[in-house]
Each structure stands twice: as C-alpha cells, then as structure tokens.
Amino acid sequence: MAFDLAQADPQIAAASPALLDPARELRRVPLGPELDRPENFYERFDDCAVFYDIFRDHSGRHVYLIGPMGLNLTPLIETLVITGHPSGTISKPRIHHGVQAEILRVSLPPSDNRLSFRFADQHFILPIQPNRSRHLRGERVIFTINKDNDLAWIADWAKFYVREHGATAAVIYDNGSTTYSLDELRITLASVEGLGKFLVIPWPYKFGSMNDVFSSRGMGGRWNRLGPNWGMFAQPPKFTQFFRKYAMEARSILNVDVDELVMSPFRKSVFKAVERSPFGLLRFNRVWVLNSRTETGPPRHDQFFIRKKGTAARDRGKKWALAPSRSFFASWRAQPWTHFVKGWLNLSGASADFYCYHFIGISRSWYWDRTESIGFDPKLHVKDKLMLDTFADVFGTDRKR
C-alpha cells in the first residue's frame, strides 16, 4: 500500500493563514464593486484571506508568505514590515504581484519560528511552517486540487500516472469535499498499486468565481488578460506554495487535474522527458475529449476516447511538468500556474511528444455544464487511436471499440 506522508510527519499539511477579522471593517473588495452580481458570486469570493500560508524556503534562509491577489488590499501588502521571533529581526519583504497571487519573501534568521506584522488595525503573530520538501526527495510527483471528484476517478487518475509514466507520489489539495471524508480520500490513494507515497492537504479557502462580466475600463491592463477568470482565489497560490514548500527536492513534478491524462505517441514517460530536458521545464498542448460514450452508469476515463478531428480538438490551455533541481533557471518570483510557469527560463517551446487529454465527462465541480452527451459524428469526430491503445495497456480495455 502507498505510504501516507502524514504518518511520518503529522504536521506536514499544517498551514499558517492570515485572515482578516470578520468583526472589523477591512475586507477584500472585488473589481467593479458597483456591478450587480448574483449572490453566489459573493459566497465564493474570498474577502478575508491575506495569506494562505507562511513557511521556510528549502534553504532555510528565507520565509515565503503566499496568498491570493490583494486587489484593494495591495497598498497594505506593499507597506508590510515583518518582525521575526524570537530574534526580533525587522525586515521588509520583497514582493511580487504574480498571476492572481501575492508572493512575498523575507529574510529571517533560521532560528525564528514565528513572525508578526501589522495590517491596518490588525496585528498578526503567526508560526513559520517548516519546509517539507525532504518528504518528496527524489520522487516523481503528480499533484492537483480536488473537490468532490469521484473516488473511482481519483484512483484511475493515480493508477494511470503510475503505470504509464512512472509516478511514485501523489499530492492532492482538497478544497472542501463534502461527498466523502479526507480519510476516504486517503484510503483511495493508499490502495493504488505501485504508488509509493501520497499526501492529502486540506485547502479550505474559497475557490472563487468564473464568468463574471465586468468592464475593465479604468482598471488597468493587468486585469484584461485574465478575462472571466480574474476572480479565482484558492487555486493560483497553491501552485507556488506546493513548489516552494513541498517540491524543491522532488525529482520531477507534473500538474494535472483529475480530468486530465497525459499521453505520448511514443509512449514516453513525461517525468523522464522533463528530467532530460535542457531547462527542466516541459510544456505541451491539451486536447478536449468529448462527453461521448456507449456505456451507461457512472462514467470512467477509459470510456471516453472520441475527440473532434484535427486542430478543432485543441484546447487553448497548455500543461507543464518541471524538474525542481533546475530551479537555477528560475527567479525567486517563479510562479507555476495552471497553464505555464512564469519566471522560469525555457527556450524550447511546446513539446510535440505529449498531449494532455482533457475529459469533459469527468467532472463534478466546474462552473459550466459538462454533462451534456454528444453523439458520435464520423464527419466531425474521430476515435483516438492513441487513447484506445494507452487505455488497453493501462486499464486492460479493448483496443478496437
């Protein structure tokens, strides 16, 4: 059975969030606060989190403070002064306003295990979490954020990456699943044959909203490129938190959601490929897999293998894998994100050796309806041979369906 890293270190998933006092007036305010929005937008909007976690970097010399984008809180973040304890060292952090995330780094003596700062009329004293990268030393890691995805999907997802790519560890950030417990999620991962280690990290922060329409006029070009995704909170900061806190000693890491399976026409391991790549970073295209199947009952990945023909199948987003040991190609500001790694040198562009198949029919927690079934049309669609062959080898299904 796969080993739960929390058994070796019961505090491995602990975080140090800085949350605004709900009894006080200061809150995060959305872009275009004057716009009329549905109530569920505000239910999903994170108006109180300044930082999601505060932790040592792997060298021990610096401390990271990672949180969602500040919006109206940005001026307060930019004037922060940090005091380390017990040393009493006072320092101003270096600040990077990343893609939908705030990344701060401050130098404090290794002996400091707490820090404090004032934020408007609030005073925070918070523990500095240790760096946990040693637990994933030398591992090939898949990681994702999850909420209520079927446990059978999660098991298939992990099994696929173990058998097809040689993954040795899996890390899942759970964003408040309600259809099963964290223990049930751990039992599912523990049962995946061939998986060596796993970790479930509770990530209870508000995910945010998509498809919010607002006028970007007068709000600065920075927000124009984010489009309807600007109001996302829980997901973007966790990339940097995972990379800096847990993954710096990993052999390689791959970010893939439960509805994403990476395949290679040459049946290569994506982990081996990124470990051999010149810059330790590999990006590749994503392909939509249509919600079309002949089976009834609960859906599974291997029941879906129909896509649109040609370039019509392409999804705009790309996916990535990286080898953290090559972090000398990256600045301290480097920010892994959903579709790219910002701040990491990479001159090789996208790889044609891999495709990330994105399954419309495998989802429980998205913001648009992915349940509508599509009939197979031979003029528009094709049964993807790579998927059929890969599924046959990984799951034992028929190659000629």
- pLDDT tens-digit series, residues 277-326: 999 999 999 999 999 999 999 999 999 999 999 988 888 889 999 999 99
The last residue of one of the domains, among 80, 96, 127, is 127
Domain residues for 56? 11-127
Tell me: do 303 and 276 sit in the same domain.
Answer: yes
Q: Which helix (H) or strand (E) holds 145?
A: strand 140-146
Tell me: do 235 and 343 sit in the same domain.
Answer: yes
Give the tokens for residue 350: 């996208």
Average pLDDT, the chain: 93
Tell me: do 348 and 375 sit in the same domain.
Answer: yes
CA distance 399 to 401: 6
- 348 confidence band (pLDDT: 50, 70, 90): confident
CA distance 161 to 168: 9
- At 219-275, the pLDDT tens digits run 444 444 556 778 899 999 999 999 999 999 999 999 999 999 999 999 999 999 999
Tell me: do 28 and 66 sit in the same domain.
Answer: yes
- At 317-338, the pLDDT tens digits run 899 999 999 999 999 999 999 9
Mean pLDDT (whole number) for 110-135: 98
Mean pLDDT (whole number) for 180-184: 98
- 213 confidence band (pLDDT: 50, 70, 90): low
Tell me: do 374 and 264 sit in the same domain.
Answer: yes
Tell me: do 44 and 169 sit in the same domain.
Answer: no
- Asked if residue 210 has pLDDT above 90, the reply is no
Tell me: do 97 and 170 sit in the same domain.
Answer: no
Q: Using an 8 Å Cβ cutoff, are 113 and 127 in contact?
A: yes
- 365 confidence band (pLDDT: 50, 70, 90): low
Q: Percent of the chain having pLDDT more than 70?
A: 95
Could you tell me if residue 113 is inside a domain?
yes
Tell me: do 194 and 210 sit in the same domain.
Answer: yes
CA distance 252 to 271: 6
pTM of the entire predicted model: 0.95
Q: Using an 8 Å Cβ cutoff, are 41 and 77 in contact?
A: no
pLDDT at position 315 is 85
Could you tell me if residue 38 is inside a domain?
yes
Tell me: do 201 and 271 sit in the same domain.
Answer: yes
- SS3 call for 355: strand
Name the residue with tokens 């490929």. 273
Tell me: do 100 and 164 sit in the same domain.
Answer: no
Could you tell me if residue 282 is inside a domain?
yes
pLDDT at position 231 is 85
Nearest Cα neighbor of 31 from 205, 213, 238, 236 is 213
From edge to edge, which strands make up the β-sheet containing 62-68? 53-56, 62-68, 101-107, 94-98
Mean pLDDT (whole number) for 67-85: 97
The last residue of one of the domains, among 127, 157, 179, is 127
The last residue of one of the domains, among 76, 93, 127, is 127
Mean pLDDT (whole number) for 173-192: 98
CA 342 to chain centre: 14
- 371 confidence band (pLDDT: 50, 70, 90): confident
Our count of domains for the chain comes to 2
CA distance 377 to 309: 10
Tell me: do 218 and 360 sit in the same domain.
Answer: yes
pLDDT at position 216 is 46
- Asked if residue 108 has pLDDT above 90, the reply is yes
- SS3 call for 224: helix
- The CATH number covering residue 338 comes to 3.90.550
Round to the nearest angstrom and report the end-to-end CA distance of the chain. Answer: 33
Tell me: do 23 and 170 sit in the same domain.
Answer: no
Could you tell me if residue 401 is inside a domain?
no
